[in-house]
Structure 1
Amino acid sequence: MLLLGLLLLLALLAAARLLWGQWKLRSLHLPPLVPGFLHLLQPNLPIYLLGLAQKFGPIYRLRFGLQDVVVLNSKRTIEEAMIKKWVDFAGRPPAPSYKLICEHYPDLSLGDYSLLWKAHKKLARSALLLGIHDSMEPLVEQLAQEFCERLRAQAGAPVAIQEEFSFLTCSIICSLTFGDKEDTLVWTVYNNVQDLLKAWGHWSVQMLDMVPFLRFFPNPGVWRLKQVLEHRDRIVERQLRRHKESLEAGRCRDMMDYMLHGVGRQREEQGPGQLVEGHVHMAVVDLFIGGTETTAITLSWAVAFLLHHPEIQRRLQEELDLELGPDAAGSRVSYKERARLPLLNATIAEVLRLRPVVPLALPHRTTRPSSISGYDIPEGTVIIPNLQGAQLDETVWEQPHEFSPDRFLEPGKSPRLLAFGCGARLCLGEPLARLELFVVLARLLQAFTLLPPAGTLPSLQPLSCSGVNLLMQPFQVQLQPRGPGAASLGQGQ
């Protein structure tokens, strides 16, 4: 009885807060409000939100649980907010699930906008673009080549390709961040990332963001998430200790070395808003969470689309053979010369357009009162950029739902993609992700022809209720070797 009374009291307080908020906004010219409270239960949320735009326009408000949010469904509104008025829209909402993820350390992806956040991002971005710039492409090439050699041993048998891609991308991040690609460490990190994504995406945790007062009640999902986070932090702390014990002045073996040197230099300068080792800790976490599964999922979508469109796969292999020769298994096109493979670049762009792996980005929050398309946007408003919806806009793209890489082969006719976001919150790992997509797909198509096992094509429909990432239904692919010795290898399978 007491519990029921408490629930009723909390519900009344939430309703009173909602009504008070609406009363305060009565004099503003707000975006139109979509009726209803259960929008989050839609199975394909980005497409559902795009459908609402046909009735309410490219910008509207709706309620996610007890929270009012503004949804942006067009390239124009997203770029107005995130690029033209980026300072106004660079914040992050103080969501309960975010606080769980970064309870002990300041986070980069989930952290709110501030001068210290800017310094944090600059440190991580510099480590990626400067600290390991010379070693990034050779390492990705080496691991991609080893990846193909490992797959060649499975040629002819159905392969769960997404798992293979996940281990590959995790190996790349471990090497670049820790300078270590030993299988034991890679498997430890890989398993923790899988556990973390599963625990964070569980409905019992995500419900906290829609109905915040639920955090006061026992929640097994939260308890499980905290266990996974403790394991995550132990993995990173071990690497931090190892790096600090062997750190040498003027020498950067990997990204962690670079960031530790950066924190040390700032400590010596003793300026305000100091970066600490906790910032390095969470930058590493962001690289693993944002740089492994996202790229692996995009590679998997690419394979799925090519299985559905064998004519595109054939043209890609002809392009590779023309540039490298049909027997040149060890040859490659450097990323700087990627223009030599225009169809491969176009195919990657088309996959990113149709299936941006974080289709609704992470929610933004206004840092001060602003406006979009003439509508008032109060301070503290949660903003959801529907990246996938914007890239399926019929006013921008011809036949937007069709897989057609050729649309990107017409100079000057294709708008800028939003797959990695834009503005101050542009994805930190975009340069690495684009490099991986180019190198891995080139190597894979050079080495194999991709076939559907027993003619069974994978589904191109995303999993419903898949959380932050646009997950796909599990599928397998048969790899038919190409090049010297391929025929005899295929006969032996």
Structure 2
Amino acid sequence: MGAGAADTISGPARALPGALAMLLLGLLLLTVLAGARLLWHKWKLRSLHLPPLVPGFLHLLRPNLPLYLLGLTQKLGPVYRLRLGLRDVVVLNSKRTIEEAMIRKWVDFAGRPQTASYKLVSQHYQDLSLGDYSLLWKAHKKLTRSALLLGLFDSTEGMVEQLTQEFCERMRAQAGTPVAIQKEFSLLTCTIICHLTFGDQEDTLVHAFHDCVQDLMKTWEHWSVQILDIVPFLRFFPNPGLRRLKQALENRDHMVEKQLRQHKESMVAGQWKDMTDYMLQRVGKPRAGEGCGQLLEGHVHMSVVDLFIGGTETTATTLSWAVAFLLHHPEIQQRLQEELDRELGPGASGSRVPYRDPARLPLLTATIAEVLRLRPVVPLALPHRATRPSSILGYDIPEGTVVIPNLQGAHLDETVWERPHEFRPDRFLAPGARPRVLAFGCGARVCLGEPLARLELRVVLAQLLRAFTLLPPTGALPSLQPRPRGGVNLTVRPFQVRLQPRGAGARAPGQHP
């Protein structure tokens, strides 16, 4: 998973034999311990009706893991167990089972497993995304959601539109030449998070945080770090990848702490200019009657981290997938432009995108839903943990069991979706009930940034398609197959797009020079 070993090790020619030896030793110890653990579990759980077990324990090495997991349902059904290293996990592969666990029985499955990398990255679980379920976690979530929604319904919409207009003007300067759109989207989404979290900021700070996020994700997803969650005792062996992750975390924390310090120095009581101001003024005070403990500055620190980690690459990747699908389906692009021209008027300026009235742009809404269905950016979600004994689809789920929702698998369920592998936005325009897309998760652990992400997707795609026609460079269409081992995110393979300004004499999306 993640980048190659040479990306994280100085002097790769010298370090590679040591890394291979560590891997082989880990696999040997894993085999011995997995056998012992299997015998213990068979004795301990002999009276329970457990989901069927998939043979083997090296499933993480499979390319396109969500699709591999979905394929196992043909023999085992939508709920089964498999071994990831020393741990049995339960995989949910259908909308029905995911909603049973995460919505109807959300209290039973609101926990997070406590892994070595999670503990390292999340400052001992003061984190929303990775932190375990507790009353203090609920208070932390409430604080962050209040700060996020306060901005969203106050100034965020105008800020996103303004930054997107500036983005389109920068793209206009490159009109007609091939553009690596993924990087441009990544910088745009990082800029939005930076303004939302820290207020108006210079480009140097945006680029610094963007580079920090890129470096952190690259090192965290490297196999030498991921293997620690499967074989935890390997952390006691020399590990250059782990050393680089710690350096990336130190850099991350130094940058965030500097911003928090500056905000505390300039803050005026009862006033706030951004989310950080808002949250800092609400921590460190006893929460009467809640009995959940005290929110501290560390919680604000990790809320900021979550916003950058969860709100930069995820949204940028979804935007990139949308452009890739539209390049393959110029007829959908043309219909979208006709809808935008009809509702907002022709040209890149004029009426604002009616974010709060999605019914005015039904095809745009349907296209976003279809992209999220086919390419949920975190296809396996983050793992949950059973907080108490429970059941799913009649199977017993013991307390402490790790449960993985296969969101992409649920979105490709042929019992729910007609021709599920095809890009067909019109499926969401058909009359009658429409199945829910689970790209942002559901239940207690639903992504807090969903409203912001949907706002960004809507505004950026609308303004981009009003200003430009998207064309492939020299007819070379991008691949619609994700990177086989892209880490946590379902990443698009690198591609370029030509942005042709719209106007008199412009070609339609289906026409090529």
Root-mean-square deviation over aligned CA pairs: 2.0
Query: How many residues matched?
Result: 485
Deviation at 1:360, TM superposition (A): 0.1
Deviation at 1:22, TM superposition (A): 2.5
The residue type equivalent to 1:378 in the other structure is P
Distance 1:485 1:251, change over 3 A: farther
Contact 1:172 1:181 in 2 (8 A): no
Contact 1:10 1:213 in 2 (8 A): no
Which of 366, 370, 386 matches 2:386? 366
Q: Is 2:479 the counterpart of 1:459?
A: yes
The residue type equivalent to 2:184 in the other structure is E
Deviation at 1:372, TM superposition (A): 0.4
Q: Provide the residue aligned with 1:432 in structure 2.
A: 452
Q: Provide the residue aligned with 1:408 in structure 2.
A: 428
Q: Provide the residue aligned with 2:363 in structure 1.
A: 343
The residue type equivalent to 2:253 in the other structure is D
The residue type equivalent to 1:346 in the other structure is A
> Would you identify which runs of 4 or more consecutive aligned residues in structure 1 move more than 3 Å?
3-15, 264-272, 483-487
The residue type equivalent to 2:449 in the other structure is G
Which of 415, 424, 432 matches 1:395? 415
Distance 1:98 1:323, change over 3 A: same
- Scaled by the length of structure 2, what TM-score is found? 0.91
The residue type equivalent to 2:360 in the other structure is R
Contact 1:132 1:254 in 2 (8 A): no
Q: Provide the residue aligned with 2:81 in structure 1.
A: 61
Which of 440, 445, 450 matches 2:470? 450
Q: Provide the residue aligned with 2:95 in structure 1.
A: 75
Runs of at least 5 residues in structure 2 that lack an aligned partner in the other structure: 1-21, 508-513
Which of 272, 288, 294 matches 2:314? 294
Q: Provide the residue aligned with 2:189 in structure 1.
A: 169
Measure, in 1, the Cα distance between the counterparts of 2:204 and 2:154.
Answer: 26
Q: Provide the residue aligned with 1:149 in structure 2.
A: 169
Measure, in 2, the Cα distance between the counterparts of 1:16 and 1:393.
Answer: 36
Measure, in 2, the Cα distance between the counterparts of 1:227 and 1:444.
Answer: 37
Q: Is 2:493 the counterpart of 1:473?
A: yes
Distance 1:213 1:344, change over 3 A: same
Distance 1:65 1:272, change over 3 A: closer
Deviation at 1:104, TM superposition (A): 5.5
Deviation at 1:12, TM superposition (A): 4.3
Which of 439, 443, 446 matches 1:419? 439
Runs of at least 5 residues in structure 1 that lack an aligned partner in the other structure: 488-493
Pairing 1:208-219 to 2, within 5 Å after superposition: 208-219=228-239
Superimposed CA distance per residue, residues 108-160 of structure 1 (whole angstroms, 9 cap, x where no aligned partner): 10000011111111111110012553011000000000000000000000000
Distance 1:223 1:406, change over 3 A: same
Deviation at 1:54, TM superposition (A): 1.1
Q: Provide the residue aligned with 2:343 in structure 1.
A: 323
Deviation at 1:341, TM superposition (A): 0.7
Q: Provide the residue aligned with 1:245 in structure 2.
A: 265
Distance 1:458 1:270, change over 3 A: closer
The residue type equivalent to 1:422 in the other structure is C
Measure, in 2, the Cα distance between the counterparts of 1:182 and 1:214.
Answer: 42
Pairing 1:371-386 to 2, within 5 Å after superposition: 371-386=391-406
Superimposed CA distance per residue, residues 454-487 of structure 1 (whole angstroms, 9 cap, x where no aligned partner): 0000000000111110011100000000137979
Measure, in 2, the Cα distance between the counterparts of 1:33 and 1:378.
Answer: 15
Q: Provide the residue aligned with 1:52 in structure 2.
A: 72
Percent identity over the alignment?
A: 78
3-12 vs 190-199, greater mean Cα deviation = 3-12
Deviation at 1:5, TM superposition (A): 10
Superimposed CA distance per residue, residues 194-246 of structure 1 (whole angstroms, 9 cap, x where no aligned partner): 00110000011111111222112111110000000000000100000000011
Q: Provide the residue aligned with 2:210 in structure 1.
A: 190
The residue type equivalent to 1:164 in the other structure is E
